[in-house]
Amino acid sequence: MKSSIMSLAVSRHHRIAAYGVSGLILCVILAILPVAGVAAPRVAAFLPLFAMAVFITEGLTAYLLWTQFMITRGAFLAALAGAYAYTSVAVAIQLMVFPGVFSPGGLLGAGPQSAVWIWAFWHGGSPILILVALYVRRRFPNPLPRARLRLAGLALMGGPACLSLLVCMLAIRGAAALPQLVDAQSYQRLQHSPPGISVAVLSAVALLYLVITTRLRTLLELWLGVALFAGLGDVLVTLVANSRYSVGWYVARLESVLASSTVLGVLIWEISHLYRELHAANARLAEHASRDGLTSIFNRRYFEERYPLALGQANAAQRALSILMVDIDHFKRFNDTFGHLHGDECLVAVAGALQAGLRRSGDFVARFGGEEFVVVLPDCDREMATRLADMLHTAVARLEVAAPCNEVGGVNVCVSVSIGAATSTPAEPIPAAELLAHADAALYRAKEAGRNRVTAWHTAPLARTDDAPASPASVHAH
């Protein structure tokens, strides 16, 4: 499952960050334990804010893990999403039944033991479900079949959410049948009770099992370990705190927020990472799609998209733009004589010479088709375009690629090009198709005049009659 949080390897920087957060959690726990039972002011808004923070972060984590499961079909992700959905439901119900939040005794007919039992089911059930998720990962290492995807996903995620509802209802409706864990505001009973000890043991076992079986090799495993460590700290500090609204009780709630938000932060980072990769891949794909497969210069599609935009920008800025049409002379004869492989080599060599002759960032050359190339020169007037065309013509001649006839009249013959140039000036802006037609007409005249030359298009003198057509001029034979 590539491009998934399940497969992102842990780097040295990731481990340093994770160990740093874990070290900070440990330092806070050790610093708080001696004063955990000290009474603190009761802040009425703290518990709702804490519960909403945990509910939102756990719910978002469950949702993002579910979306990853639907993409990768990894059963482990669905099971882990179920563990977070379990906690999200539990914390929402605990907030409703907590004494003094919405009513003195809590909503839903809750008793004085309901909130603490929901806490025990929450903190005991979550590590159990993470152990279940790790078992599911070992049992189903491969992507699930698409036919069973939704059914398995609903079972792995919906099952824990329903279980959370059931145990919360048990804590509310069956509180009288459950052992007493709290006296008024005191957690003294919880600290030494089997449920309290079991919750601590389960949290420690889940953390150790994760570390031993996975070695924290992936990003998800690493930060899930940090979340479990923070959850263990939450349990230990709560047990030592002994009472609600003590220093330890407040710190334990903050540890719980950290435990719930750790994996969410990693998921958000991973989504950003994948988005960056997708953007880079799209950029590479767009670059590949705009390049000619043989010569690696831009292709005709790129030219047809970029050229009208460049001309429009030049016209809007009242700047000149020139275009050169380049054709390899007698290329069909070259192919017929030397074969298409050598013909391809010739095309690559000529394209490279044209590309190397462009110095400005806005200029570009594209393969127009067959042995024809087109060069777009923004902010380039007629005189400058003609000079550059001469330079490109000379650059191709310097390749000294042998033409089919090695000698004509005792002179060595090399591959040459004919170039037609046309310019759109600020005083005479013209449509893109018309400017291209002018360059093509200039190229035709260059070939008609004997090839191996540069011909620049310009309009006829003012004295011409209205019927006199515009014509190519400035012929440079080589």
Catalytic residue among 58, 255, 371, 400, which?
371
Cα separation, 456 vs 447, in Å, equals: 13
Cα separation, 270 vs 286, in Å, equals: 24
**For residue 473, what are the contacts with CB-CB under 8 A and spacing of at least 6?**
455, 456, 457, 458
Nearest CA to 157 out of 58, 217, 247, 85 is that of 85
**For residue 307, what are the contacts with CB-CB under 8 A and spacing of at least 6?**
323, 374, 376, 432, 436
Residue 282 phi, psi (nearest 5): -65, -40
Task: Name the token pair of 208.
Answer: 């150790």
Q: Scan for tokens 């957690």, then name that residue.
A: 187
Which DSSP string corresponds to 378-444? ET--HHHHHHHHHHHHHHHHTT-PEEEEEEETTEEEE--EEEEEEEEBTTB---HHHHHHHHHHHHH
**For residue 195, what are the contacts with CB-CB under 8 A and spacing of at least 6?**
117, 120, 124, 179, 181
**For residue 280, what are the contacts with CB-CB under 8 A and spacing of at least 6?**
none
Nearest CA to 95 out of 118, 129, 120, 112 is that of 118
| 377 within 8 A of 388, measured Cβ to Cβ | yes
Q: Catalytic: 371? A: yes
Residue 324 phi, psi (nearest 5): -115, 130
Nearest CA to 75 out of 7, 135, 131, 128 is that of 135
Q: What value, to the nearest 5°, has the Cα angle with vertex 52 and ends 30 and 177?
A: 80
Nearest CA to 446 out of 464, 426, 419, 421 is that of 419
135 by Cβ neighbours in 10 Å (0-12 / 13-18 / 19+) ranks as middle
Residues with catalytic roles = 371
